[in-house]
Amino acid sequence: MSHFYQEFLRPITYLVVIYFIALGLFYLVLYVSAALDMQEYLRRVRAEKYSEILSSEIAPSISMLVPAHNEEASIKESVRALLTLTYPKLEIVVIDDGSTDATLSVLTSTFALVPIHPLYDRRIPTKEVRAIYRSKQYPNLIVVAKENGGKADSLNIGLNVASSELVCAIDADTILDPDGLRRLVRPFIRSRDVVAAGATIRVANGCTVTQGRMASERGPHKALAGIQAVEYLRAFLFGRPGWNRLGGNLLISGAFGMFRRESLLETNGYVRSVGEDMELIVRLRRHGYETGQPARVEFVPDPVAWTETPAGFRELGRQRERWQRGFTDVLWRHRSLLLNPRFGVLGWVVFPAFVLFEWMAPIIEVVGILLVVAGLILGQVSALFAILFFSLACGQGILLSMLALMLEELSFRRYGRARDRALLVVWAVLENLGYRQLTVVWRLRGTLSYIRGKKSWGKMNRKGFNTVDDHDTSIAEFPAAPAAVDGPPVGIAAFN
């Protein structure tokens, strides 16, 4: 057995160690890139009030696309919040994707909807539209009722019906910063080459919402939500800005992203897939290379969308499995990009990095753990070495999270209370003691279920916001208790 270890397992161990070091170096480069990008961005927006965009005659128009499926609990608050956004030329298109609950009737009664002749430009084929409504109270609010066809189909209907130059796709349960649109529109004003821009998603569990707006930005006090908050910070303050300088992002969260409408229509909009957000970005960038048209994707760190995250392990596990399935699907669909010189930095840097350091990470981590266990059993690895190696892996994870927290501390500091920020440090440590290993299992299961052919989303249930008072002056609070939340993916949030 000892010979077997020496001959076969030891070389694999070296490969794992090399991978581990390469991963560390990659994160270091990504972090430096993110820090530089963030520093430049903060200097640029210092003292910026964005008032010129608000009152400009030449500001681009925006259509918000809000797909909703069985969202009766939260749709009223969500649409109200959208109607309070400060942007001069704003249209809101809510797409009821064949809800079987009272979503449509809640919308109809709350916003005085009346049916209009369902006429729109059918540029992308979609499921049948049952009716189109317009609000008598808010002329910029349109509601489309359609046959159930999934999120991608709903967004495609939204693209057909929308009339603005830019479209902003958000999830129905997302709460946006009031000036989020003005901040996110800047890359499009700055360059005609930009086809998509993404913003930061933060965890709303524990925050208080008043009249559809974030009243108090507080860090989650429960471990599971807190650890996810750290994961989101790592992804959105570290990963995404880092890619801005290293060849552009490959992912924009479906919870809050803005696109040039014509670019989406040219590439036939969203494709029905588990990871449609990422698939769209990869396709847009790929289309740019194939046609020679510009297709820049930018990430803007300060417009924030707040979203509720799963509060129970079961829901979280399902979500992470689904993300990994979607991620695998996108990589497989676009496998021809890998190391393909035709696609420049996308084919040579971005896509390979996602395969090597994102998709393969859980596989390598499991192999590493199995090797150490095998070494222990075969007497080839001492217990001390095993403990030190485990500590090293945890230390690397903790360091990455701490670096993200440092960026947050030195930049936006959205979680205002010192206690909340101290708790984030605790969650960053705890994440590595059990949670991280669990996510590895979930991600592996996601990959395996994709290989076995599972492509569906699974059932989605939402509890919605706990509304204390049902009037406009209500205070809604995100549920602290475990909620049956299994919403659309916000992208690959973790960078493990």
Please give the residue ranges that form the binding site for another protein (CB under 8 A): 17, 43-44, 46-49, 51-52, 56-58, 114, 116-117, 119, 121, 134, 136, 139, 186, 189-192, 384-385, 388-389, 391-392, 395-396, 398-399, 402-403, 405-406, 409-410, 413, 416, 418, 421-422, 425
Please calculate the CA angle 408-315-224 and round it to the nearest 5 degrees.
Answer: 40
Q: Are 483 and 224 in contact (CB under 8 A)?
A: no
| CA of residue 77 relative to chain centroid, distance | 21
Q: Minimum distance from CB of 361 to another protein (Å)?
A: 18
Q: Minimum distance from CB of 205 to another protein (Å)?
A: 22
The amino acid present at 482, given as its one-letter code, is: P
Tell me whether residue 24 or residue 482 sits nearer to another protein (CB atom): 24
Q: Minimum distance from CB of 457 to another protein (Å)?
A: 32
Tell me whether residue 395 or residue 434 sits nearer to another protein (CB atom): 395
Q: Are 104 and 495 in contact (CB under 8 A)?
A: no
The amino acid present at 406, given as its one-letter code, is: M
The pair of structure tokens assigned to 432 is 């590595």
Residue 430 backbone dihedrals phi, psi, to 5 degrees = -60, -30
Q: Minimum distance from CB of 190 to another protein (Å)?
A: 4
Q: Are 309 and 205 in contact (CB under 8 A)?
A: yes
Distance CA 26, CA 71 (A): 40
Taking the CA atoms of the chain, what radius of gyration do you get in angstroms?
23
DSSP label at 137? S
Judge residue 10's burial from the number of C-beta atoms within 10 Å of its C-beta, 0-12 exposed, 13-18 middle, 19 or more buried: middle
Tell me whether residue 410 or residue 468 sits nearer to another protein (CB atom): 410
The pair of structure tokens assigned to 304 is 């924030």
Q: Minimum distance from CB of 366 to another protein (Å)?
A: 19
Tell me whether residue 246 or residue 381 sits nearer to another protein (CB atom): 381
Helix (H) / strand (E) containing 345: helix 344-345
Q: Minimum distance from CB of 385 to another protein (Å)?
A: 6
Q: Are 471 and 376 in contact (CB under 8 A)?
A: no
Tell me whether residue 45 or residue 271 sits nearer to another protein (CB atom): 45
Tell me whether residue 40 or residue 290 sits nearer to another protein (CB atom): 40
Q: Minimum distance from CB of 64 to another protein (Å)?
A: 20
127 CB-near residues (< 8 Å, 6+ apart): 98, 146, 147, 148, 149, 153, 157
Tell me whether residue 45 or residue 366 sits nearer to another protein (CB atom): 45
Q: Minimum distance from CB of 414 to another protein (Å)?
A: 12
Tell me whether residue 139 or residue 292 sits nearer to another protein (CB atom): 139
DSSP label at 267? T
